[in-house]
Structure 1
């Protein structure tokens, strides 16, 4: 698929640019279990991967009839950020792809369910911050509804000045793929962690970030 089919590449962050999903889902499962909502790592990945924080609150309340504590988000983020500082790495090949897009003059941005602080912490730790000035970083915090609603992707496209149909989204979560499709954007599923079968609706799939330039015809 030649890159001139698109005027903007929109990257999800967690699991696509930074290898954060194993860390955050392990911690989320442990914290929910600690609070009396028994959750395995596999269940966390299945139910919450790609979610904005508000969706975690909504699902827990829907299932248990109980609210999570007021300080849930703050406590969880403290634990996640501490683990990121110890263990977080960039997804293999991500920096090379960003370097290639920059050299080719192809605009890109990040649109993440995570908070701006979470995105920045991860990018600083992995060195990806050099590729992401603030004006091309978009978070679910910027819109009313996170993925699977299309709001975040539409917001990113509007801010970048590109029509949705000229955007290609790179996603690794079912919620993210749904959001991209709902936004009227093409989407490729990144299957390093999520099997292709769990990302229905994507226009194509790839397993290693090194494959993306060839997909774009670079």
Structure 2
């Protein structure tokens, strides 16, 4: 069975943003009196929308983050993106191959539309992604690990969930894809495969994704 839609996560899969974003998040939380290491941030928040940060801090401390937390975090993150963000090595070759083979694709990210577009503009990925194939957790009521975002993307792209494959690098994203009834391949450049239970296959170099997809033709 050939997949009719490839759904990419954004952070860590298309753009190499996870090291930047999680270092900034960990530093900001620590600054606010919630000591958080870079490793803590990867474990607890990688692949999640920002509301998860509010939820976990509230559960663990009984405190609320400042009202301007989101805007300050976004400003710091976007500034780092403008300075340092790059594409994940090899991803443009994958996108070119999908285009050449007329395989539909899209991005479904826990990040905001603004965050997605800032990253794509900086890295040149806006060549491959336009409004019609960009989906954000802002578009749905619940972000990952709920299946809503992936189901929304599939519906907007006109493809049944069982004909979709998701490319993810986070535990929450994998859970969301499985809950949506989609196959999912785990990108393990940053995340050990044992933290991605349920993936159909996994790979550490983006070029290897093409072999996994070809095996399903």
Q: Same fold judged by TM-score > 0.5?
A: yes
Q: Deviations over 1:15-50 (max 9, x none)?
A: 000000000000000000000100000000000000
Number of corresponding residues = 215
User: SS at 2:185's partner residue?
Assistant: strand
Which of 18, 23, 35 pairs up with 2:20? Answer: 23
Which of 179, 183, 198 pairs up with 1:201? Answer: 198
1:92 maps to what in 2?
Answer: 89
- 1:184 matched to 2:171: no
- 1:58 matched to 2:62: no
2:38 maps to what in 1?
Answer: 41
Matches within 5 A, 1:140-155: 140-155=137-152
1:166 maps to what in 2?
Answer: 163
1:131 maps to what in 2?
Answer: 128
Shift of 1:193: 0.4
Q: Which runs of 5+ in 1 are unaligned?
A: none
Aligned-partner Cα distance in 1 for 2:151–2:57: 28
Q: Deviations over 1:123-168 (max 9, x none)?
A: 0111111000111000000000000000000000000000000000
Which of 169, 186, 210 pairs up with 2:207? Answer: 210
User: SS at 2:63's partner residue?
Assistant: coil
Aligned-partner Cα distance in 1 for 2:41–2:142: 20
Q: Which runs of 5+ in 2 are unaligned?
A: none
Q: Deviations over 1:35-87 (max 9, x none)?
A: 01000000000000001011111011000100111110100000000000111
Aligned-partner Cα distance in 1 for 2:149–2:108: 7
User: SS at 2:99's partner residue?
Assistant: helix
User: SS at 1:169's partner residue?
Assistant: strand
Aligned-partner Cα distance in 1 for 2:168–2:45: 15
Q: Deviations over 1:166-216 (max 9, x none)?
A: 000000000000000000000000000000000001111011101111111
TM-score by length of 1: 0.97
Aligned-partner Cα distance in 2 for 1:73–1:98: 31
